[in-house]
């Protein structure tokens, strides 16, 4: 048995299962890494970075991590809270005047003109918990809110009528909409993280990427995490595929003409980053270690505890999440039956099956990438394929990855 407490023989089962996805043509390539008790326990590189060109996937292959950007941006905002630059329960009006004096729709499915004044201001806590009152979800404004998704994510998702706006113009456009719900009352996806990116820029006077690099990426040694893939790294970028049942993988974004070749007009805190398994693993291990990694402290223990606490009310736990309610092993489970939501991460609230224990946290990316940090097991695992499936929040691959990782624990 390895000192990480894994059985090598049982990790072989994980290998076989992951290989099966590539052999069946469901995935072009996969990179996976697992740490436990601070030790690297397992690394796996299977298949192709570019299937057509037969370029093997490697440990330093660069992936579009989509919504795995969200916890990174949440952690970055919390560093500003720790510096006293902004408070968790302060209104954000001073920094984001576009969100001041909001009107709220009487019926989210109804007319955007039928509104009443919001009973209170939006706070940073509302933004971090996705309860500011506007975002993805069922509403009459849904297509217009979707259209605010920033490139290059919006391009590969093929969102119709997408608007190309710089951050201030984007905030101005968002400010034209009423809120769908009063602040604090409903969890709504996506938009909050993009706002948090703008908030960081306005508080610090630095572009989001610059701030992330100074406060997170450089201290943690995350050398390949960025909103852009420069020419000298392009050969390491994975080809991006779309999968549909019974069909061959279809190529949608290629390193030759990738949307990530140029710095984006809007550095999207909700989904714009690229990274590698090693880079993201370092970020996750920092959170798992309560804010510190290899002698470098990014956040205090109390801040990480706050980040990984479930803030959803019992009533909010009953609401489905948009069209994609499943990201759990139990197909009958709703999104929030066994998970809650902290600051930019889902938090496991109830044990089911042989997957993550209570208190584990994560947030997946729509392009197949996922991770789990499990404090009970002192486990951090990252899985990176590069494929968009039918449900961006649930893949059979990520479920199998978790089951096979946890069955291999033998201490």
Question: What local confidence, expressed as pLDDT, does residue 355 receive?
Answer: 87
Domain 76-204 has CATH 1.20.1530.20: no
Q: Which residues on adjacent β-strands are paired with residue 201?
A: none
Question: What local confidence, expressed as pLDDT, does residue 328 receive?
Answer: 62
Tokens of 247: 């069909």
Provide CATH 3.40.710.10 ranges for the chain.
Answer: 8-68+223-407, 76-204
Question: What local confidence, expressed as pLDDT, does residue 244 receive?
Answer: 84
Average pLDDT per consecutive 10 residues, the chain (411 residues; last block may be shorter): 89 98 97 97 98 98 98 98 97 98 98 98 98 95 96 95 97 98 97 98 98 98 98 98 91 97 98 98 98 98 98 94 60 84 97 92 96 98 95 88 97 93
How far apart CA 194 and CA 99 sit, in angstroms, is 13
Question: What local confidence, expressed as pLDDT, does residue 326 receive?
Answer: 55
What is the CATH number assigned to the segment(s) 8-68+223-407? 3.40.710.10
What pTM was estimated for this model as a whole?
A: 0.97
Question: What local confidence, expressed as pLDDT, does residue 342 receive?
Answer: 98
Tokens of 116: 């009443």
3-state SS track over the chain: CCCCCECHHHHHHHHHHHHHHHHCCCCCEEEEEEEECCEEEEEEEEEEEECCCCEECCCCCEEECHHHHHHHHHHHHHHHHHCCCCCCCCECCCCCHHHCCCEEECCCCCCCCCEEECCCCCEHHHHHCCCCCCCECCCCCHHHHHCCCCCCHHHHCCCCCCCCCCHHHHHHHHHCCCECCCCCCCCCECHHHHHHHHHHHHHHCCCHHHHHHHHHHHHHCCCCCECCCCHHHHHHECCEEECCCCCCCEEEECHHHCCCCCCCCCCCCCCCCEECHHHHHHHHHHHHCCCEECCEECCCHHHHHHHCCCCCCCCHHHCCCCCCCCCCCCCCCCCCCCEEECCCCEEECCCCCCCCCCCCEECCCCCCCEEEEECCCCEEEEEECCEECCCCCCCHHHHHHHHHHHHCECC
Question: What local confidence, expressed as pLDDT, does residue 393 receive?
Answer: 77
Question: What local confidence, expressed as pLDDT, does residue 253 receive?
Answer: 97
């Amino acid at each position: 048995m390895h000192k990480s407490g894994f059985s090598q023989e049982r990790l072989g089962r994980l290998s076989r299962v992951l290989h099966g996805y590539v052999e069946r043509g469901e995935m072009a390539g996969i990179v996976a890494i697992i740490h436990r008790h601070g030790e690297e326990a397992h690394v796996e590189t299977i298949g192709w970075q570019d299937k057509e060109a037969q370029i093997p996937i490697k440990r330093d292959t660069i992936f579009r991590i989509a919504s795995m950007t969200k916890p990174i941006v949440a952690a970055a905002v919390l560093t500003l809270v720790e510096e006293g630059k902004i408070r968790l329960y302060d209104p954000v009006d001073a920094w984001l005047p576009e969100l001041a004096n909001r009107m709220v729709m009487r019926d989210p499915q109804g007319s955007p003109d039928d509104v009443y004044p919001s009973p209170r201001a939006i706070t940073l806590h509302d933004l971090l918990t996705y309860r500011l009152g506007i975002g993805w979800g069922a509403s009459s404004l849904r297509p217009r809110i979707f259209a605010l998704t920033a490139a290059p994510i919006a391009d590969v998702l093929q969102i119709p009528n997408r608007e190309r706006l710089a951050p201030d113009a984007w905030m101005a456009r968002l400010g034209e909409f009423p809120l769908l719900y009063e602040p604090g009352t409903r969890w709504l996806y996506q938009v909050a993280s993009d706002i948090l990116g703008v908030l960081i820029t306005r508080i610090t006077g630095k572009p989001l990427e610059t701030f992330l690099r100074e406060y997170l990426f450089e201290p943690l040694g995350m050398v390949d995490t960025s909103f852009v893939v420069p020419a000298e790294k392009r050969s390491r970028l994975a080809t991006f595929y779309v999968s549909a049942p019974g069909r061959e993988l279809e190529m949608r974004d290629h390193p030759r003409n990738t949307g990530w070749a140029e710095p984006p007009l809007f550095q999207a805190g909700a989904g714009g980053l690229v990274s590698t398994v090693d880079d993201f693993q370092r970020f996750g291990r920092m959170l798992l270690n309560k804010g510190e990694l290899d002698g470098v402290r990014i956040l205090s223990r109390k801040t990480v505890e706050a980040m990984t606490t479930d803030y959803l009310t019992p009533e909010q736990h009953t609401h489905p999440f948009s069209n994609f309610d499943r990201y759990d092993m139990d197909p009958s489970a709703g999104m929030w039956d066994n998970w809650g939501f902290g600051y930019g991460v889902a938090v496991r609230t109830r044990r089911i099956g042989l997957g993550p224990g209570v208190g584990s946290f994560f947030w997946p990316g729509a392009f197949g990438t996922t991770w789990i940090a499990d404090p009970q097991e002192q486990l951090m695992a990252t899985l990176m394929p590069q494929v968009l499936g039918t449900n961006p929040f649930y893949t059979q691959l990520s479920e199998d990855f978790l089951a096979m990782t946890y069955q291999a624990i033998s201490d």
